[in-house]
Each structure stands twice: as structure tokens, then as C-alpha cells.
Chains A and B, each alone.
Chain A
Amino acid sequence: MAKKILIVDDDPNIVTYLEDFFGDNGYDTCSATDGSEAMAVVKKEKPDLITLDLEMPEEWGPRFYRKLVKEEEFRKIPVIVISGLTGSKYAIQKAVASITKPFDRDKLLAIVKDVIG
């Protein structure tokens, strides 16, 4: 069964782009446009990996991450931070990687493959 990636980003262009990109590489995807709705999607879809934006209008990425790791079932889901903020790598230090927009898609794919296969 294909691995599923949850894309959390408030920029619809990024979401579409990542959905197409991951889809082309054999992954299933689902998405949320804000931290506040991402938790519900995680519960419903049970993704294998999450790409997470930091700055979003309602609930920021780190706050969502804090909620995520409180749930025993989900706390081990690997997270890749994809953000335009400077110093974003320090925001969620337990993320498997932090990537700054604009990003190199091959590099992103290499990380995803490395983490979930």
C-alpha cells in the first residue's frame, strides 16, 4: 500500500504542487490548510509523514506539532518542516528535516524516501 503524506500549508499553490509531486512519485496525499484543522485530518487519514508549514493564519505549525505529540498514536509520525521563515530549523527541532522555501524538490523527495521509503 502506498504511504500517505499529509501536507499542511495555507498556500493552496504549495499544497497543489506538493500533492502532484508526491502523487507522481507514488505516494498518497491528503491536506489541511491550517494547523487548527490538521489534527482532524491526522485522526481521519492516519498519515505516515507530515509536511508542515510554520506560519498559518489560525494555528501555527509548532502549536499543531505540540498537539500531535501529545497523542500517543500519532506522536511518532515524522514531520518535515517546510517554511519561508528564517531560523525555521529551530522551531521544531525534533522534525526529521527543516526546509526553507523556495525548496529543491529532489532534496525533499530524497528526505521523504529516506524516512518512509
Chain B
Amino acid sequence: MFKKILFATTASPSCDHAARVAFDMAKRYDSELTAFHVFGIPTRGFSQFVRDVRTGETVTFDDDYLDWVKEEMKNTYVRQLEIHQNCTIEAIHGVPHTEILRAARKKDVDLIIMGSTTREEDEGTYVYRSTTGSTLQAVTKAARCPVLVIGRPVASTWGGFSNIVFGTDFSRTADSAFLFAYKVAKTFGCTLHLFHAYDISAVHSGKIMEQDEIEDNMMEAREKMRKMYVPRMKGFDDYEIEIWEGIPYVEIVKFARENYADLIVMAHHTRKPSSEKALLGSTVEQVVLRATCPVASVNRPDKIKDL
């Protein structure tokens, strides 16, 4: 498991939290790690110019610049590279998500690690942007392996995975996420929390639910959890089932915090049937931005079968 990890990075401070997780995981699980940077192209099509991620300036792309960027990446991760020698640094120019996906496919990686967005919050604004970056969205949508997203500092994860929350709404797309969560839990001896948040957000639009209805639905969800997932965990008994009611992303983040979770696993989306078209689900997007532990988004079963 996690034999090959692709860490997609800008090598700027916005990826620092993700870097800590990437190098820590690679060392702990003895993975082959690639720190991978793509120079974004500021214009459509192919171009001689790229945008420097640190200065934001447009620079002419040539071999000297490429070497310089690789050197800068080495300097940025100098301490991590000392500890973890089995890491290669790669830089390439192109459309970031296309190149990340291409590299992941070519190297046949088991996991992609990324930050949630490179844009800093605009100073002076009072509205929290609350969206993930477009590269992340495109990568999570099309990746054949799970994508581990680190949106905030995730100190809880130091020391490896031990406590996993699998957030589900029982949809078919959640199946691959379950399999991933279960395999990680089983391989590394973690506690697996099977968690469902019963959505009562309709109350804000005027639909008042009786408490009986809410609690009946929660009990039904508990039963569903037991029937749907428990039989698939033969011989594994370190799991717990929990159902909370509320706004799903809030409840998942709360639950993860209260239980000292070090990994949340969710399906990339649940509503739309096609993995090709669906956007990153709104619940998982908010969880990615708000949780204090890494969040794995799973969209396809391909790589999970072999883990």
C-alpha cells in the first residue's frame, strides 16, 4: 500500500502542510515519492512563457530556468530530503492538472497528495471564499487513484494513520471510498469510524421536520450502515458506527475533531451518476477546506482494487 506517491506541489508556502504529510507518509510507509511541479502556462496553448509561482511574473521558459526551479524545490524541501532519500524532484511545463494526471498514470501511483488551493485569502474581505482550487478539482475528478488533500495544518496526522473517518451517504459512489478506508484501516491497524450525517439543512428553507422523523431516519441509517458495510469487513472488528444529524460537512468536521481523526475518506461526489462529469461534491469540498486532518477523495475503483 502507498508504494508510489505523487506529491503535486507549487513548492510555495501554500503547499507546506501538504509537504509535511507527503514526506512523513513516504518515510513511514517506505514509499517512492515524487515531488512534482508544473509551471502554469499563462496563455492558451503552448507558449515559451510561464508564470513564476513565487513572484507571479511571466518568465521565459528554458533549461536554465527549469534547473533553477528544481534547485529551488530542493532548497525548499532540503530538510525533508535529508530524511527521505527515496524522493525524486520533477518539474515540467504545461497545464497543471493535465500534467499531474499524466504523471500519475505514467508512474502508476497509488496516491496523489495535494494542497486544497494556492490562492491566499484576500486581505480585507469579510467573505470566506470557501472553494478549492481549480487544479485540485480537475485532478480529483479524473484521477484513477485516491487524492489526499491537505487544506489546513494537520498536526493530528503526525505519527501515521490510526483513526479513520469514512463519511458516507450510502450512494454507489461511496463504495470505492469505503473500500479504500477499510483497506487502509486493515493494513495499518486503524480504528474505522463509519459515519453518516443525516442532512437536516432543509430546515433553513422552511421544511420543519418532526424529531420522530429525524430520529427514525437516523436509526434507519444505523441499520443501513450495519447491513451495507459490516458484512464486507470480514474478521475486522475495530470499527464503530455513528450517525449524527445536522449539516453534513459541519458534522463530519466536528466528528473528526472530537474523535481525533487523522484521515477522512469520502467519495468525490455522490449525486451525479457519471464520474466523468461530476464536480467535486459540495460536502467533500467544505470538509477538505475545514478539517484539521487530510481528506482522501475517491472517485474511481481502479487503483483501490490493487492496494
- Using a CB–CB distance below 8 Å, which chain A residues touch chain B? 76, 89-90, 93-94, 96
Is there contact, CB below 8 Å, between B219 and A89? Answer: yes
Is there contact, CB below 8 Å, between B226 and A96? Answer: yes
Is there contact, CB below 8 Å, between A93 and B226? Answer: no
Q: Which residues of B lie under 8 Å from residue A96 when comparing CB positions?
A: 226
Closest CB pairs A-B (n = 7): A93-B219, A90-B215, A93-B215, A89-B219, A93-B218, A96-B226, A94-B222
Q: Which residues of B lie under 8 Å from residue A94 when comparing CB positions?
A: 222
State the CA gap A76–B212 with chains docked (Å).
Answer: 25
Closest Cβ neighbor of A97 among chain B residues: B223
Closest Cβ neighbor of A93 among chain B residues: B219
State the CA gap A89–B222 with chains docked (Å).
Answer: 13
Q: Which residues of B lie under 8 Å from residue A76 when comparing CB positions?
A: 237, 240
Interface SS of chain B: helix, strand, loop or mixed?
helix
The size of the chain B interface, using a CB distance under 8 A, is 8
| Distance between A94 CB and nearest chain B CB, rounded to angstroms | 7
Interface SS of chain A: helix, strand, loop or mixed?
loop
| Distance between A81 CB and nearest chain B CB, rounded to angstroms | 11
Q: Which residues of B lie under 8 Å from residue A89 when comparing CB positions?
A: 219
11 contacts between A and B (CB under 8 A): A76-B237, A76-B240, A89-B219, A90-B212, A90-B215, A93-B215, A93-B218, A93-B219, A93-B222, A94-B222, A96-B226
State the CA gap A93–B214 with chains docked (Å).
Answer: 12
Closest Cβ neighbor of B231 among chain A residues: A114
| Distance between B95 CB and nearest chain A CB, rounded to angstroms | 49
State the CA gap A93–B215 with chains docked (Å).
Answer: 8
Closest Cβ neighbor of B226 among chain A residues: A96
| Distance between A48 CB and nearest chain B CB, rounded to angstroms | 12
Q: Enumerate B215-237 residues with CB–CB distance to A below 8 Å.
A: 215, 218-219, 222, 226, 237
Q: Residue-by-residue, is B193-227 near A (CB-CB < 8 Å gives 1, otherwise 0)? A: 00000000000000000001001001100100010
Closest Cβ neighbor of A87 among chain B residues: B212
| Distance between B34 CB and nearest chain A CB, rounded to angstroms | 41
| Distance between B242 CB and nearest chain A CB, rounded to angstroms | 9
| Distance between B306 CB and nearest chain A CB, rounded to angstroms | 31
> Besides the contacts A89-B219, A93-B215, what 9 more A-B pairs have beta carbons closer than 8 Å?
A76-B237, A76-B240, A90-B212, A90-B215, A93-B218, A93-B219, A93-B222, A94-B222, A96-B226
Closest Cβ neighbor of B212 among chain A residues: A90
| Distance between A54 CB and nearest chain B CB, rounded to angstroms | 16
State the CA gap A89–B212 with chains docked (Å).
Answer: 10
Closest Cβ neighbor of B239 among chain A residues: A76
State the CA gap A96–B215 with chains docked (Å).
Answer: 14
| Distance between B234 CB and nearest chain A CB, rounded to angstroms | 11
Q: Which residues of A lie under 8 Å from residue B218 when comparing CB positions?
A: 93
| Distance between B53 CB and nearest chain A CB, rounded to angstroms | 48
State the CA gap A94–B219 with chains docked (Å).
Answer: 8
Closest Cβ neighbor of B215 among chain A residues: A90
State the CA gap A90–B212 with chains docked (Å).
Answer: 9
| Distance between A77 CB and nearest chain B CB, rounded to angstroms | 12
Q: Which residues of A lie under 8 Å from residue B237 when comparing CB positions?
A: 76
Q: Which residues of A lie under 8 Å from residue B240 when comparing CB positions?
A: 76
Closest Cβ neighbor of A89 among chain B residues: B219
Q: Which residues of A lie under 8 Å from residue B212 when comparing CB positions?
A: 90
State the CA gap A90–B215 with chains docked (Å).
Answer: 8
